[in-house]
Structure 1
Amino acid sequence: MGRADIVKILLDHGANIEARTPKGSTSLKLACELGEVDLAVSLLERKANVNLPDKDGWDPLMCAALKGHREIARVLLKYGADVNAKGPQQATSLRIASEYGHGGVVRLLLDADALIDEPCSDGKTPLYAAAKMGHNDIVQLLICRGADPNRQTCTGSTALIAAAMYNRLEPLRILIDHGADVDLENSCGWTVLSMAYFSGYPQLVQLILERRPAMMRDIGDAASEDQIEDKTDPILICRRHDLIISS
């Protein structure tokens, strides 16, 4: 006898399908966390609330997204799960799956019309999360599905700047090749180039300049180093690294 059979017997004898643990988890949420497809189906067939969150705001679909349980997520969506519901820090299931590298779940959620650029409370989008964590395939997928590479967070950061901060070479390449703006600054005035340089990643600096040589077009006429007040200025960075690219 499987778990689904036991659950059926318990429900037939009056068990409360929406009973909660001390942390507010329902049987359905626990089944989704564990990847128990048959158990989840059994509960949903008995009208378990597909969108009921726990005390921390995690609903069943978010749990499936976190754990990478694609089949569970598919079942939940079939039974009416809200693909754009928001949980802790206003994160959606797509944002969660993107951060934790579950490409199959990301694709499934996008096919179910998940909002691709929906940010959490700090303004970070699914693309930002994927770029930060170095999930190359998810960055590529989100970009190909229309994610905005220039969307800025509450502090002005972008997916491109996040990739530079965490030394994510391939996401950086993908983002630049798909039109990410290398000149955007965060609230501290840092661009992707200054972030890559001061984070100590010369490979990223080289890639940025190779992909965007036009940013150095007027470098020959620029002021000398001692006249450049902004130490994050691209000209100063390139001179220090001897990476000046003439256009």
Structure 2
Amino acid sequence: MAEHPELVAEMPAVARLSTPERLKHAQKRRAQQLKKWAQAEKESQGSKVGAERKRRKRSDGNTKRVTFPASVQLLEAAARHDAEEVRHFLASGISPDLCNEDGLTALHQCCIDDAGKVVPVLLDAGADVNARDSELWTPLHAAATCGHLHLVRLLIQRGADLLATNSDGNMPYDLCEDELTLDCLESAMAEQGITQEKIEEARGATEREMMVEIGQLVEAGADLDAPRGHGATLLHITAANGYAEAAELLLEHQASVGSRDEDGWQPLHAAACWGQVQMVELLVAHGADLNGKSVLDETPLDVCGDEEVRAKLLELKHKHEAVMRSHHRHKSLLQRRTSSAGSRGKVVRRVSVSERSSLYRREHEREAIVWQRAARRDSAEDDDDGQTDAELRRRAAADPPAPSPPRNGSALCTHGPGTGATVHPVPDPAPRHHLPATLPDLKRHRAATKLQHLPGGDAATPMGRGDTGDTGGTGVAGGAGDGAGEPPLLKLTAPAEEPPAQKQRCCKVM
């Protein structure tokens, strides 16, 4: 059978045909239409038979059906506020306290959704009015938070705990923002005689229980870092809940601040996430890593949502970085001091060489002075002619003075047996460059001087470097003066010291 667009397209051609031709064309189109209709009917009959066969086959075999746990069915019916279906489930033996993976019961769900018709059905079936979820919330917490006044009254009538605390340490009245609902809660607390002391005692009950448990574990020698739910340790739990005393007890017994749960969170992550400022300071003081990362590469600062805790973390981080920079500077200073030990040793060695040179110089000078004094004593006490100094002085006073010899020592004056004096030329003493310069030369020079004395008092003694004797400036035989024959002082040269290393500029300041 031709489609509609095809029929529309051939209408101009049909309009040009004659009347008999138009009739023939119409009959042809009708035959095609009937033929396709019959074919469609045949196919539809076959499909119905096939469907019937399939249905029969499924009914004959075992069929698979999707089923849900009873807890899911009960929670789903409560969420739909279907009191009849809830009653039907409870009548079939399902427990009203069934919960999901978060610990949420049907009563929690109804208090959140304000299902006023379902709540009495659950309570009449024996549902726990103080049931707790994974974060220790009770149905009264949920109703007070949402401001459902009539449900709060109903729960209080059925025995709800007004002092129940959740994981954050909050009671139902702490979470209530509706004025009428808050007045209802406070009136009920006043009627039950709840005072501030009881409130504080109730808030610390969980921490006291945890401290008792920690004490038992310490006495038993158990591992305080043993993982619990989701891999969290006791220190994770105390950090998240702000239990400072329990945390101090754990840290006192060497609980690890670096333990991780299944998400890679350390106790500091938990304290930062739940806004526990005191716990943040305590953990950092015990060496918690401010830059520790979780499985998702999150630091405690990344998971922190409280501005006060965030500011404290930033402050602690800056202080920690300042302390580390100070440690690095101290460490580098120690390294520089250690590396300068070699140069300090060189300075000590240079000073030692200088001191040794000075010591050698002083010893040489003292030795030369000793030799000079010994020479003076020999010449004064024991002359070659056997006369003493007093006799020489008397003889010199009795004899006429003799002319002074030349100052360069070119003549030797002697006294003969006659009345006159005889002058004998003598060679000049050794030039200055031939004078003894060392201690052995000095000894040889002294020995040669003593051998040149003549016996009988007529021997001549050369004067040393043009110096005159003690008797009026005349060189007398056998009476060498204090300056006669004295060796000159040694002119010692100190060993050459190492020149100090030239300083090089290390920066542009020098």
> So what's the TM-score if we normalise by structure 2?
0.25
- The structure whose RCO (Cα within 8 Å, separation 6+) is larger is 1
| 2:189 paired with 1:146 | yes
Which residue of structure 2 lines up, in the alignment, with residue 135 of structure 1? 178
Is residue 86–residue 92 contact of structure 1 (8 Å, CA) maintained in 2? yes
Which residue of structure 2 lines up, in the alignment, with residue 31 of structure 1? 77
Which residue of structure 2 lines up, in the alignment, with residue 42 of structure 1? 88
How many Å apart are 1:25 and its aligned residue? 4.6
How many Å apart are 1:61 and its aligned residue? 0.6
Superposed CA RMSD: 2.7
**Partner Cα distance (2:100, 2:166) in 1:** 18
Change beyond 3 A, Cα 1:137–1:149: farther
Query: What CA deviation, in whole Å up to 9, does each residue of 1:13-42 have, x standing for no partner?
Result: xxx9x932xxx9521111111211111111
**Partner Cα distance (1:101, 1:35) in 2:** 18
Unaligned runs of 5+ in 1: 1-15, 157-186, 189-247
**Partner Cα distance (1:123, 1:25) in 2:** 29
**Partner Cα distance (2:168, 2:106) in 1:** 23
How many Å apart are 1:56 and its aligned residue? 1.1
Which residue of structure 1 lines up, in the alignment, with residue 471 of structure 2? none
**Partner Cα distance (1:38, 1:25) in 2:** 16
| 2:139 paired with 1:93 | yes
Is residue 118–residue 126 contact of structure 1 (8 Å, CA) maintained in 2? yes
Specify the SS of the correspondent of 1:145: helix
| 2:172 paired with 1:126 | yes
| 2:152 paired with 1:106 | yes
Which residue of structure 1 lines up, in the alignment, with residue 111 of structure 2? 65
Q: Which has the larger radius of gyration?
A: 2
Which residue of structure 1 lines up, in the alignment, with residue 68 of structure 2? 19
Which residue of structure 2 lines up, in the alignment, with residue 51 of structure 1? 97
Moved beyond 4 Å, runs of 4+? 147-150, 152-156
**Partner Cα distance (1:93, 1:35) in 2:** 16
How many Å apart are 1:104 and its aligned residue? 1.1
How many Å apart are 1:135 and its aligned residue? 0.6
Give percent identity, aligned residues only. 24
> So what's the TM-score if we normalise by structure 1?
0.50
| 2:128 paired with 1:79 | no
Query: What CA deviation, in whole Å up to 9, does each residue of 1:117-150 have, x standing for no partner?
Result: 10101110100010xxx21111010011116584
How many Å apart are 1:88 and its aligned residue? 3.0
How many Å apart are 1:70 and its aligned residue? 1.8
Which residue of structure 2 lines up, in the alignment, with residue 213 of structure 1? none
How many Å apart are 1:81 and its aligned residue? 0.1
